Amino acid sequence: MSLQKVLRLYVKPNSFCDGINLTTFKPLSKEWSGRPKIWFQIDGNRQLLNVSGLSSLFGGIKVDCHIVKVVNPDPNGNPAYLVYGADFGLDIETEDGDSFGMPIVWIEHEEDLPEEVVTFINQNLLSFDQK
């Protein structure tokens, strides 16, 4: 019998984001953890923004987020980078110091991630037996 590793995420609906139902992803790499700057397209402008996880502890505190290469749950899904935080999702800080929440971020282009994250993930791809 062969076991496959899966990643299941649930984000509670809260005042920062709408949350997501329990969703399963197939990881293709080990996960990187930290508080990166990620490129976002906002109102037609490309902006480099700070991203943190957001925990419900003490009413909402910032924690490290996690980035992992995964396959979308869609059977025909393409590999991409999944950015996720804690049970309140992600806190994304804009250039002017405001912030907004998202349950997860789906990144299809590795150039939107810091080079250190892409290097780590590419050096830690799971072998067929670990998937």
> Residue 29 falls within a domain, yes or no?
yes
- Considering the domain boundaries, does residue 27 fall inside one? yes
Q: Is residue 104 part of a domain?
A: yes
In a domain, 85, yes or no: yes
Model confidence, pTM:
0.90
- Dump pLDDT digits (tens) for 7-49: 999 999 998 899 999 998 999 999 999 999 999 998 899 999 9
Could you give the number of structural domains in the chain?
1
91 within some domain: yes
pLDDT at site 75: 67
Residue 17 domain-assigned (yes or no): yes
The string of pLDDT tens digits covering residues 72-109 is 767 677 899 999 999 999 999 988 889 999 999 999 99
Question: What is the b/e burial string over 25-54, where b = at least 16 CB atoms within 10 angstroms of the residue's CB?
Answer: bbbbbebbeeebebebeeeeeeeebbbbbb
In a domain, 68, yes or no: yes
Distance CA 71, CA 80 (A): 6
Residue 47 lies in a domain: yes
Determine the structural domain holding residue 54 and report its residue range: 12-126
